[in-house]
Chains A and B, each alone.
Chain A
Amino acid sequence: MPVFTFPLALLGLLAAPALIYIYWLRSQARKRKVSSLLLWLEEKEMWEGGRSIHRLQTPLLFFLELLTILLLVIGAAGPMIKAGEGGSPLAIVLDDSYSMHGGSPESARILALQAIVKELRAYRYEPLRLILAGESPQVLGEISTSEGAGTDQAVNLLNAWKCAMPVAKLEEAISFAFELGGERTRVLVITDHAPSEEPGDSRLQWWSFGSPRSNMAIVNATRNSVDLEDRVLLEIANLSETANSTTLTIEDDNQISGKTQDTLSLGAYETRRIILTLKPGAPPLRARLGGDMLSIDDQVVLVPAEHRAVRVDLRIGNNELRQLVDKSLQSTLNANTTVADPELIITDESESRAELSTSWVLRIISEKDAASYLGPFVVDRAHRMSEGLSLGGVVWGSGKSQAFPGSPIIMAGNIPLLTDIERAGRHELRLRLRPDLSTLQETPNWPILISNLVNWRARTTPGLLQSNVRLGSDVTLAVESGIDQVEITEPQSNTRKLPVSDGIFTVKAESVGVSHLKAGENRYSFAVNALAREESDLTRAAYGRWGNWVKSADLQWEYRNMSWAPLLLAMIVLAIHGWLTSRNK
């Protein structure tokens, strides 16, 4: 089937009705009084029998002119036919965000699936790649349509297109598709919203299957354990240009505290915040809105947050330094100072007594032979301790020796200031600091350093880092040493086992609901909720198609321009027309 380079030229077909109109006008007899019909007796009267309604006079010339118009318009539209039988490479970038479910049962995803199948049945693509656009691009699969069952394979693969991500980074996925497929590849983007601008790359087509709709959604939900009680925050938004109302039902899983139901009336784009306080260890709490066009964001589950405080033993003799550290520890929410079974020891002793095998140590070393350093500070940004540090303008007092045990994390030129020594999973950090020669402790970098250390240690403490996570984010579980795999059971999914790396198990939260983890004998639960305001907002959804592959110079070689054929035919027809016209004269 030919495609057209300039389909707008097909508007020229409007000339056909114009031609018909001209002939119709010509066929309308004009009244003319003559002196006598005597000299017209030889002329045949056109309509014997006195018919009052005459059909359109369509002489051969008319058909020739009509044919000429048709041929010229087709020629101007630039018909292209495929140069060969081989398929062209295609990458389909699939918006994997949950807004694609909006408008169910005729959701954008369902409409898109139908369009993709239709496209694949109409044209041959070789190879066909399916790429999911979520937080990061992911290849769903590659199909060789030459095997004859390409469309069926594609449909099978598309079943794995769940549209459960809280974001779809389409630009990244498009770049990835071009990198994967090379210059010849076409990219078809399937989504539910219009592109920010007309696709600049003519190898790109953008198909959107959404339609603007109102939606009420829970856009934020947290549950934290603070001061011996669980605090729950819910934010419900009316993502609509008009006021709406819905019911909010809150219940716990064990039906202990019963169920509350309330009617929420919200103005256009209004967000209502609800704060609840629960007893510590209260069962999972469920909040549910009345049904609308997108169900995934109408319900949240919040499981009890696991309190993960790091036990810190402060063994600092210098009072001034001790106060500095203690104050910073208090500002972090997950540190408890204790001397019993510490997980982290902070000391100003260069060599201390034998520590517990699981304890981490931060040694703050104040050397006598010291100097103040203004920089330049070299920071290992990949290290967890350096997260958020900004040492510009800081004066750091430290010993002068260049030799210092451990891997440097922060250096002032060639002087190590903070080093890390790892031994069997536990870390010993050495911080060279003379507070009297420094301004570090007077800057935000000081509490950041302490907080980074505590958080780092907390992450490695067995247990979940976060019990309530947003869809698409990472779930991190620190496991006890010796455990090399974790069993995960997600909602509406089979149980599977996944490996542990360096005592940390990380998995992407891809299923909304409560999931369960089993690490050795320990069991954990976490809740995943679809909380992405951008995805819940369906008011900007759009339906349409943008881009035209045929215009792409990179793809021209696949097509042969056939403009010459209709234009040549038009010339021939015009020649016949001219000959007939001259013969009639």
Chain B
Amino acid sequence: MRYSLGTPRSTTAAASGLQLGQRAGSSLEFREHRDYQAGDDLRRIDWNAYARSDKLTIKLFRDEISPHLDLVLDGSRSMALEESGKLRATTGLAAVLAIAAENAGYTHKSWLLRDWCEPIANGSNRPSLWDNLEFDYRGNPVEGLARVPPKFRRQGMRALISDLLWLGEPSRVIQQLAQGASSILVVQVLAAADVDPPERGRVRLVDSETAEEREVLIDDRAIRRYRDALARHQQNWLRACRQAGAVQIEIVSEKIVSDWDLVELVKFGILKI
């Protein structure tokens, strides 16, 4: 089965390119008129129409997208959680997206988000050639992203693969990604153990990144609280993504690596068969 990267249903900003997007853009192919709204590019006002109707009208063209994918992988240790399929799922999904991008005529560049967002060696080549792909960062990736802003391709598509289990405001990360991006894809890769907490009883939890330990009694109430906390956390991210026009999907690593059924990505239009 051959996958190719789909055109995102939403883009964060108009950009010229080789592909025609679903949204109105700056290509020469006219699409429709609409009333001017604050914030619209003044260069697109149809002055002829204004002359006829004394009404500011915007001339919409099909959006022309420059096909490039910036693929950002979360390099923190939690992405290589022991006894989980997160590492396989993360690298596998990255490979799928990179190959699908190539199949769709995209260029791509891969990044590893650690103490700063560093390019992966040979990250523009096929995934099998990527080098120095180490998931051992113990800090907060948000700070890394803010410390040295990555030089993403303008008007390119950006995809973040992470478990998003950071302490911090999701919108900060999304805004960082959204600057100059045509579209954003956030893939949250969670281990089954992240979705379903450990078995009941006394458990000494060890943070895979900080090695911090916490001994808790896991009972039905604790499990309920955990699930509520996870749902709230995901809601925050979803809200931030919606505000930025990003698409967010959740992947359970053990499930995806068991059969590599990518129907979810297809359903969201991220991949096309």
Residues of A contacting B18 in the complex (Cβ-Cβ under 8 angstroms)? none
CB <8 Å contact, A35 and B165? yes
- Does B49 sit at the interface, judged by CB under 8 A? no
Chain B interface SS verdict (over half): mixed
Residues of B contacting A28 in the complex (Cβ-Cβ under 8 angstroms)? 202
Residues of A contacting B212 in the complex (Cβ-Cβ under 8 angstroms)? 37
Contact residues of B between 241 and 271, Cβ < 8 Å to A: none
Q: Which residue of B lies closest to A30 (CB)?
A: B203
Q: Which residue of A lies closest to B77 (CB)?
A: A35
Given A34-B206, A35-B81, A584-B219, CB of A40 within 8 Å of CB of B201 = no
CB <8 Å contact, A39 and B216? no
Given A32-B204, A34-B206, CB of A46 within 8 Å of CB of B165 = no
Given A27-B202, A44-B216, A584-B219, CB of A35 within 8 Å of CB of B191 = yes
Residues of B contacting A46 in the complex (Cβ-Cβ under 8 angstroms)? 202, 215-217
Q: Which residue of A lies closest to B200 (CB)?
A: A26
- Does B207 sit at the interface, judged by CB under 8 A? yes
- Does B233 sit at the interface, judged by CB under 8 A? yes
CB <8 Å contact, A47 and B215? yes
In the assembled complex, the CB of B201 is this many whole angstroms from the nearest CB of chain A, namely 5
- Does B163 sit at the interface, judged by CB under 8 A? yes
Q: Which residue of A lies closest to B201 (CB)?
A: A26
A side interface size, CB within 8 A:
25
Residues of A contacting B210 in the complex (Cβ-Cβ under 8 angstroms)? 37
Residues of B contacting A584 in the complex (Cβ-Cβ under 8 angstroms)? 219-221
Chain A interface SS verdict (over half): loop
Interface size class of B (residues with CB under 8 A): 35 or more
CB <8 Å contact, A38 and B82? no
One digit per residue, 1 when the CB lies within 8 angstroms of any chain A CB and 0 when it does not, for chain B 207-228 equals 1111010111101111001100
- Does A436 sit at the interface, judged by CB under 8 A? no
CB <8 Å contact, B203 and A42? no
- Does B51 sit at the interface, judged by CB under 8 A? no
CB <8 Å contact, B202 and A34? no
In the assembled complex, the CB of B156 is this many whole angstroms from the nearest CB of chain A, namely 29
- Does B229 sit at the interface, judged by CB under 8 A? yes
- Does A496 sit at the interface, judged by CB under 8 A? no
- Does B40 sit at the interface, judged by CB under 8 A? no
Residues of A contacting B136 in the complex (Cβ-Cβ under 8 angstroms)? none
- Does B193 sit at the interface, judged by CB under 8 A? yes
In the assembled complex, the CB of B49 is this many whole angstroms from the nearest CB of chain A, namely 53
Among B81, B203, B217, B226, point to the contact of A39 (Cβ < 8 A): B226
Among A29, A33, A47, A57, point to the contact of B208 (Cβ < 8 A): A33
CB <8 Å contact, B165 and A36? yes
Q: Which residue of A lies closest to B167 (CB)?
A: A38
Residues of A contacting B163 in the complex (Cβ-Cβ under 8 angstroms)? 35-36
CB <8 Å contact, A39 and B220? no
In the assembled complex, the CB of A583 is this many whole angstroms from the nearest CB of chain B, namely 10
One digit per residue, 1 when the CB lies within 8 angstroms of any chain B CB and 0 when it does not, for chain A 96-137 equals 000000000000000000000000000000000000000000
One digit per residue, 1 when the CB lies within 8 angstroms of any chain A CB and 0 when it does not, for chain B 151-173 equals 00000000000010111000000
CB <8 Å contact, B215 and A34? no
Question: Closest 3 interchain pairs by CB?
Answer: A35-B78, A36-B165, A29-B202
Which of B's residues lie within 8 Å of A, judged by CB? 78, 81-83, 86, 163, 165-167, 190-191, 193-194, 198, 201-210, 212, 214-217, 219-222, 225-226, 229-230, 233
Query: Can you list 14 pairs linking A and B with CB atoms under 8 Å apart?
Result: A28-B202, A30-B202, A32-B204, A33-B81, A33-B208, A34-B206, A35-B163, A38-B233, A40-B214, A42-B226, A43-B216, A44-B216, A45-B215, A46-B217
